[in-house]
Amino acid sequence: MRRTEALRSLVRETELSPGDLVWPLFAVPGERVRNAVKSMPGVFQLSVDELVAEAQAGFEAGVRSVILFGVPDKKDAVGSGAYDEDGIIPRAIRALKKGVPGLVVMTDVCMCEYTDHGHCGILRTPKAGIPESVWRRAQGQPDEAALERAGSTRGRSLIAPPRSEHPQGQPDEAAPERAGGLGGQYPPSMMSVENDATLPLLAKEAIAHAKAGADIVAPSDMMDGRVAAIRKGLDETGYGDVPILSYAAKFAGAFYGPFRDAAESAPREGAGIPKDRKGYQMDPGNVREALREVALDVAEGADMVMVKPAVPYLDIVRLVKDRFELPVAAYHVSGEYAMIKAAAERGWIDEDRVALEMMLCCRRAGADLVLTYYAKHVAGLLTGNGR
């Protein structure tokens, strides 16, 4: 049964088609901007006009879905650019909807590209000398009403999301002297991401994307309770039919480095700022916890769930596929892409065949859709329409 391609295709259990692929694109301000991302050959930061042209080329090659990431003009402590209705992502969505009708436009919902400290939520200081509320007001951070809403979201969700404290280590007594790396705007001591106060901001961001015409919103921040908060926000503002693809099992590994170059979203160095995302993303050793994360997101109203990264975590993809009845997405992330590119550049592997095989294996493990920087390239290989 393996003798000819026709025989093999008769008994092949898994197929890969361009319709399974989602192409991540990076939007930046300006016009005619095409900044090559060094650690991701073939990937660019694109101004909105260029982004539309790129999406159009992808569409012609067979890619019918994109997911957008934004690099804003300005960053601040509370990620204001994330929920600005005229921000980079809403502008990109409107242009894409007009320029490439028929394209599915998904958006990444997170704070890390928009905060000056680079974390996926807003920071608080647990043991600073300054009372938190005073510091918050001084920073122009979310008002009492916003915090109130975060509370009520939790109260009314299907299940109460677990409260996690995300300890980031001991307070740093020497920090006051070293503070100032970020203009001294952060209180001195070790800070951590403030889960519940971030929720209303994520909901606002998702609503801004939906208003601009996003087909699907995809929260990647890993805050507890954010799917419920976003679902409620969308439902109350008339966007009940916008589905949520949750990055449900997102692992804090080493595979996201190149992306952080592209999105300019790596955690900044500064007194008290957590160095990594281990306080909110998952530990790579955990399987049962991944299933619990997925179950929580499903209960909160996720329409699709994602496992990320993809290939090193295909065991998780398979388990999620077998246990839940929702579409499963796998994110073939920047580090996975960069590794293939690097080996191919040296002539050590056949890039086309390896890329196709990686995508097929994601599908075989149970992924219904695969997010990949190879989307256009692989779609071109599959349809013969690449350029």
The answer to whether 341 is a known catalytic residue is no
Angle between the 226-236 and 195-212 helix axes, to the nearest 10 degrees?
40
What residues between 268 and 297 interact with ligand PBG by CB under 6 A? Answer: 277
Q: Which residue is nearest to ligand PBG (CB)?
A: 259
The single residue among 199, 333, 367, 378 that binds ligand PBG, judged by CB under 6 A, is 333
Set 250, 321, 341, 376: catalytic member? 250
CB of 85 to ligand PBG, least distance (A): 21
The beta-carbon contacts of 159-164 under 8 Å, at least 24 apart in sequence, are: 159/296, 159/299, 159/300, 161/224, 161/225, 161/228, 161/296, 161/300, 162/224, 162/296, 163/195, 163/196, 163/224, 164/195, 164/224, 164/280
Among 65, 189, 198, 220, binds ligand PBG (CB under 6 A): 220
What is the longest distance spanned by two Cα atoms in the chain?
Answer: 74
Nearer to ligand PBG, 189 or 281 (CB): 281
Nearest-approach distance from CB 277 to ligand PBG, in angstroms: 6
Site string for ligand PBG, 109-128 (x = CB under 6 A): -x-x-------x--------
CA-to-CA distance for 77 and 186, rounded, in angstroms?
9
Q: How far apart are CA 376 and CA 21, in angstroms?
A: 9
Least Å distance between CB 77 and ligand PBG? 17
Q: Which of 322, 244, 251 is nearest to 280 (CA)?
A: 251
Alpha carbon distance 91, 109 (integer Å) = 15
| CA atoms of 208 and 202, how far apart (whole Å) | 10
Indicate if 127 belongs to the active site: no
Of 232, 308, 321, 376, which is the active-site residue?
308
| Shortest distance in whole angstroms from residue 157 CB to ligand PBG | 22
Give whichever of 94 and 260 is closer to ligand PBG, judged by the CB atom.
260
CB of 276 to ligand PBG, least distance (A): 9
Q: Among residue numbers 228 through 267, which ones bind ligand PBG (CB under 6 A)? A: 256, 259-260, 265
Pairing of strands 104-109, 65-70: parallel
Q: Which is nearer to ligand PBG, 114 or 189 (CB)?
A: 114
Interface size with ligand PBG, residues (CB under 6 A): 12
Alpha-carbon span 317 to 225, nearest angstrom: 22
Residue 108 engages ligand PBG in binding (rule: CB under 6 A): yes
Residue 59 vs 280, nearer CB to ligand PBG: 280
Which lies closer to ligand PBG via its Cβ, residue 141 or residue 265?
A: 265
Quick count: other Cβ atoms within 10 Å of Cβ 137? 12
Residue 334 interacts with ligand PBG (CB under 6 A): yes or no: yes
Residue (of 153, 15, 141) closest to 79 by Cα position: 141
Closest-CA residue to 123 (of 72, 161, 77): 77
- Residue 86: CB atoms within 10 Å: 9
Q: C-beta of 70: minimal distance to ligand PBG in Å?
A: 11
- Active-site annotation, residues: 250, 308
Residues that bind ligand PBG (CB under 6 A): 108, 110, 112, 120, 220, 256, 259-260, 265, 277, 333-334
